[in-house]
Amino acid sequence: MEKENKPQVQCLNCQRSDQEVPVVALQFKGQQTWICNQCLPTLIHHAERLADKFAQLED
Ligand SMILES: [Zn+2]
């Protein structure tokens, strides 16, 4: 029952879940999201590539 209330933990870029890959929690404009270890370098070095992903969080 508790599981139903948990937000789905998955990478905002590649959609893989924490059952498949390690993910890091992010907080952006009050929204909680996650990014996996493989996508994290993209966020750091090429944040513009993920801009549309973060824009979707604002809905
Ligand atoms: Zn990812």
pLDDT digit string, tens, across residues 15-26: 999 999 999 999
Q: How far is the CA of 26 from the centre of ligand 1 (A)?
A: 13
Task: Say which residues have a Cβ less than 8 Å from residue 21's Cβ, sequence separation at least 6.
Answer: 11, 36, 37, 38
The winner for highest mean pLDDT among 1-10, 20-29, 50-59 is: 20-29
Q: Cα of 14 to ligand 1 centre, how many Å?
A: 4
**Residue 6 CA, ligand 1 centroid: distance in Å:** 20
Q: Is 27 left (phi over 0), alpha (psi -120 to 50) or beta?
A: beta
Distance 57 CA to ligand 1 centre (A): 16
Ligand 1 center from residue 31 Cα (angstroms): 17
Rounded to whole angstroms, how far apart are CA atoms 20 and 57? Answer: 22
Delimit the domains of the chain by residue range: 2-52
User: What is the predicted pLDDT for the residue at 9?
Assistant: 95
